[in-house]
Amino acid sequence: MKTQLHITNLDYQRLSNLISSVRKTMKDDLHNIEALEGEIHRAKRVEPRKIAPNYVTMNSEVEVIDTTSGRVMKFKLVYPQEANFPAGRLSVLSPLGSALIGYREGDEVEFRVPAGTKKVRIGKILFQPEAKGEYAL
């Protein structure tokens, strides 16, 4: 049984709009777009004020642990126009970004990379906008 994802109504609306706008222009990333679309459609949608603080939402800062190497990485999950991987800003349209949205601390997520499949565990949510009362980020 798959983990029940949680996503805010605002994130759902913004991500649905993003998917609609990039579907035709980003044909090389179609798998990532479809993966993200599948995740947000199966997620339980909640009001931003009601999402638990241990779920990954847009603009969350997240610590992830590679389950194979044990390497710890920190990312802020952002929209594509804000992405800068070397600076730790991970696009929600990237394989890892689309895999993280809606999961919570402790969950393990798999995502596709050119060499196959990778798995990471969400260690900590270092910052979640909604937990700090920032509902419109």
Can you give the three-state secondary structure of the chain, one letter per residue? CCCCCEEEHHHHHHHHHHHHHHCCCCHHHHHHHHHHHHHHHHCEEECHHHCCCCECCCCCEEEEEECCCCCEEEEEEECHHHCEHHHCEEECCCHHHHHHCCCECCCEEEEEECCEEEEEEEEEEEECHHHHCCCCC
pLDDT at residue 101, as a whole number? 96
pLDDT at residue 22, as a whole number? 87
pLDDT at residue 114, as a whole number? 84
Q: What is the dihedral of CA 2, 128, 92, 37, to 10 degrees?
A: 40
Lowest model confidence (mean pLDDT) among 2-6, 51-55, 96-100, 133-137: 133-137
**What pLDDT band is residue 3 in, cutting at 50, 70 and 90?**
confident
pLDDT at residue 27, as a whole number? 66
List, in order of start, the domains of the chain with CATH numbers.
6-130 (3.10.50.30)
Work out the percent of the chain whose per-residue pLDDT is above 90: 78
Task: Report pLDDT digits (tens) over 12-69.
Answer: 999 999 999 888 777 666 778 888 999 999 999 999 999 999 999 999 999 999 999 9
pLDDT at residue 32, as a whole number? 81
Single pTM value for the model: 0.92
**What pLDDT band is residue 137 in, cutting at 50, 70 and 90?**
low
Structure tokens at 59: 């603009």
Q: What is the dihedral of CA 66, 105, 80, 85, to 10 degrees?
A: -40
